[in-house]
Structure 1
Amino acid sequence: MTPITIYDIAKEANVSVATVSRVLNDTAPVRASTREKIMSIIEKHQFQPNAQARSLIKKETGTIAIILPDITNPFFPEVFWGAENEARGLGYTFFLCNTAGDYNRESEYLSILREKRVDGIIFLGGRINMQVCPDDMAQELIDMGKRMPIVLVNGNIAKGGFHRVYTDEGAGAALAAEHLLELGHRDIAFVGGLKELSTTMVKVRAVQKKLREHGLEIPKERQLLGSFSIDDGKREMSKLLDRDNPPTAVICVNDNTAIGAIKSTIEHGLSIPQDISIVGYDDTPLASAVIPELTTVSQNTYQLGKQAVDVLHELINQGKPKKQIILQPELIVRQSTGPAAR
């Protein structure tokens, strides 16, 4: 039996497809007798419009996409959690795109999402976190933004004109540095991240600025960048600890690298925070699960996701949300920091 369509309903009721659409979606007044007639036919055929039909009727799919670089990094699922809960409350479903840090895969997903006609995109990481994004990659996203609303989270494309929701990551790094200075630390290192990414370098610069206010700085040999994983944190921390005169405190680019740094410190027979203090960044669930519990900086990840969906929803509905929403970070002091060893 051939499934009945909205066109069949309109033909049987002797009305336009637009009139059936108005009844289904309650988007405009329809004469009571006409509405009753259409509803009677709908009930007779037990008609339920599928997603594709609804998208043709409303010019919307009810689907939004989120593009992120690494689903295994706890920061991104935390943002997604806030976004998904807010999106469900607004009637959207999600298309999750994990690029695994591959810029080509980002481009593939952008093409797929254009074909799928999603209502909008939330974009995290990848090209929007590059200190200098290649022109072709930037233009690809700008062109996509002309087709559908895009909201950037914790990143930017120069001259792209995108709406953005982000945490002041530099302010968070400065909070971490100030905390260590107040504990008497003067020999501080920085571990993790990539120099090509703004999310790393904005933190490095903010820490350096705060230290210079106190006549201090992190020398180049104590800026051990690498990547964002636990293994990277462990490896780079080991390099620090294998040298003479290791630092008394370390600021890590994220919680993953901080946990790797903790592992290395313990394996070197040192105590945290008695011998060395360690600060993470992001306040992911791992931060309170590790022993000692990790002092870190909260990016308000749930709110990042929630606010991004709210902005995107407003754009989808032709609203005019603020161009930038900036969230303030918060220092979360736990067990991994203490007074500098004398």
Structure 2
Amino acid sequence: MNIYDIAELAGVSIATVSRVVNDSPRVSERTKQKVRTVMDENGYTPNVFARGLGLDSMKIIGILCPDVSDAYMATAVAHLESRMHEHGYDCILCCSGFEQSVKEKYVSLLLEKRIDALIMVGSTYAGTGEADKNTKYVRDAAKQVPVFLINGYLDCENVSCAYGDDYQATYHVTSQMIETGRRRILFLCDSRSYSATQKLAGYEAALKANGLPVLGDLKLYVKNRIHTVRDILLERRDLRFDSVLATDDGLAVGAIKYANAKLLKIPEDLCITGFNNSALSICSDPELSSIDNRVEELCNITVDNMMKALLGEKAEVTRNNRIPCRLIKRCTTDF
């Protein structure tokens, strides 16, 4: 039994059946009751294709992220999916990694599925924040469906962005470290994405504002693996630092492992701050102070804007949604 059978038995078009499934106001209550009776008598359960036929909507949202095993991405995807279900939408999730060609491939794939909107979780999709060729595929997608970017900013029509103020967060934390006497602050990072670039800019600006030099040897790019960070720091005997500002909690936990191996006291000998306020921050020993970029709030802003767009309230959609981050102080900082 399919939608065509139900339409024939009820004496209506398949578009009418689809509208009944979606409780469209364009169908009279008498017709709705007739179609629902036929569906009940035949044990018919509509699928997403039946819902979409005749309405130019599949009630499906595409979600793209680089790596769903990442704690930040996983939290965002889980929250987005839950909110989408509240509004009657299903989701298709794709994990693109960071290669440009693969990101473009998955965007094309999702658009072929007749999605109603596209959510891109991760600043990698914003490129460097400039109108360069690496973001062209995002701009092209926005010509077909509304696009929503989380954790990055891209100035483009039909693209709505929600992101934390990473620049201000790292500026504030770096300044606080300096005020407590820290002079050699190690910046640990694992990418050069839009978000990472903003974090680096805040760090460097705080150093300059306090009369300290920006030193290349105190900016370390390393893979976000806890033991990898620990081992690299142990190997770099020439690297002197009295504090660590990491752009992810995993990197910061690697610094804690390094400090423990060197028998350094935290935070007396080494002050450490992470980013994202993930579960890692309370699993570490000692518990990690971390900058909370409020991922669930970013997701809520995204969903609220999306529903406005899908309901035809495009003028109400805000394109640039930047919210302040906040430092959650635990045991690895003394300010």
- Say whether the fold is shared (TM-score over 0.5): yes
Q: What's the counterpart of residue 208 of structure 1?
A: 204
- Provide closer, same or farther for how the CA distance between residues 21 and 70 of structure 1 changes in structure 2, counting only shifts above 3 A: closer
- Provide closer, same or farther for how the CA distance between residues 30 and 265 of structure 1 changes in structure 2, counting only shifts above 3 A: closer
Task: Tell me if 1:318 matches 2:312.
Answer: yes
Distance in structure 2 (CA, Å) of the matches to 1:228 and 1:73: 10
Q: Deviations over 1:93-152 (max 9, x none)?
A: 222211232322212211221221122111123642432779544222211111111101
Distance in structure 1 (CA, Å) of the matches to 2:120 and 2:296: 15
Name the SS for the 2:162 alignment partner.
strand
Q: What's the counterpart of residue 243 of structure 1?
A: 238
Higher relative CO (Cα under 8 Å, sequence separation at least 6) belongs to 1
Instruction: From 229, 233, 236, give the equivalent of 2:229.
Output: 233
Task: Tell me if 1:120 matches 2:117.
Answer: yes
Q: Residue type of the partner of 2:117? A: G
Q: What's the counterpart of residue 139 of structure 1?
A: 136
Name the SS for the 1:61 alignment partner.
coil
- Provide closer, same or farther for how the CA distance between residues 182 and 144 of structure 1 changes in structure 2, counting only shifts above 3 A: same
Identity %: 26
- Provide closer, same or farther for how the CA distance between residues 233 and 316 of structure 1 changes in structure 2, counting only shifts above 3 A: farther
Q: Does the CA contact (< 8 Å) of 1:190 and 1:224 recur in 2?
A: yes
Q: What's the counterpart of residue 20 of structure 2?
A: 23
Distance in structure 2 (CA, Å) of the matches to 1:327 and 1:132: 17
Instruction: From 278, 288, 294, give the equivalent of 1:284.
Output: 278
Give how far 1:88 is off. Answer: 2.1
Q: Over the residues paired in the alignment, what is the CA RMSD in angstroms?
A: 2.4
Q: What's the counterpart of residue 223 of structure 1?
A: 219
- Provide closer, same or farther for how the CA distance between residues 61 and 36 of structure 1 changes in structure 2, counting only shifts above 3 A: closer
Unpaired runs of at least 5, structure 1: none
Q: Does the CA contact (< 8 Å) of 1:79 and 1:303 recur in 2?
A: no
Distance in structure 1 (CA, Å) of the matches to 2:26 and 2:238: 77
Give how far 1:29 is off. Answer: 5.5
Name the SS for the 1:58 alignment partner.
coil
Q: What's the counterpart of residue 66 of structure 1?
A: 63
> Which has the higher mean CA deviation after the structures are superposed, 34-43 or 280-289?
34-43
Q: Does the CA contact (< 8 Å) of 1:174 and 1:206 recur in 2?
A: yes
Distance in structure 1 (CA, Å) of the matches to 2:241 and 2:29: 78
> Which has the higher mean CA deviation after the structures are superposed, 289-298 or 87-96?
87-96
Give how far 1:220 is off. Answer: 1.3
Give how far 1:57 is off. Answer: 3.4
Distance in structure 2 (CA, Å) of the matches to 1:258 and 1:122: 28
Task: Tell me if 1:176 matches 2:191.
Answer: no
- Provide closer, same or farther for how the CA distance between residues 35 and 72 of structure 1 changes in structure 2, counting only shifts above 3 A: closer
Q: Does the CA contact (< 8 Å) of 2:96 and 2:102 recur in 1?
A: yes
Q: Residue type of the partner of 1:147? A: Q
Distance in structure 2 (CA, Å) of the matches to 1:301 and 1:14: 49
Distance in structure 2 (CA, Å) of the matches to 1:73 and 1:39: 44
Give how far 1:291 is off. Answer: 0.4
Distance in structure 1 (CA, Å) of the matches to 2:104 and 2:331: 42
Instruction: From 244, 261, 264, give the equivalent of 2:255.
Output: 261
Q: Does the CA contact (< 8 Å) of 1:78 and 1:284 recur in 2?
A: no
Task: Tell me if 1:298 matches 2:299.
Answer: no
Q: What's the counterpart of residue 329 of structure 2?
A: 333
Q: Deviations over 1:205-229 (max 9, x none)?
A: 2112122222123311111123433
Q: Does the CA contact (< 8 Å) of 1:278 and 1:337 recur in 2?
A: yes
- Provide closer, same or farther for how the CA distance between residues 192 and 31 of structure 1 changes in structure 2, counting only shifts above 3 A: closer
Instruction: From 139, 162, 167, give the equivalent of 2:164.
Output: 167
Distance in structure 1 (CA, Å) of the matches to 2:221 and 2:286: 23
Q: How many residues align?
A: 333
Distance in structure 2 (CA, Å) of the matches to 1:143 and 1:91: 27
Q: Does the CA contact (< 8 Å) of 1:224 and 1:236 recur in 2?
A: no
TM-score by length of 1: 0.88
Unpaired runs of at least 5, structure 2: none
Give how far 1:161 is off. Answer: 5.3
Task: Tell me if 1:148 matches 2:115.
Answer: no
Distance in structure 2 (CA, Å) of the matches to 1:53 and 1:42: 12
Give how far 1:324 is off. Answer: 1.6
Task: Tell me if 1:49 matches 2:46.
Answer: yes
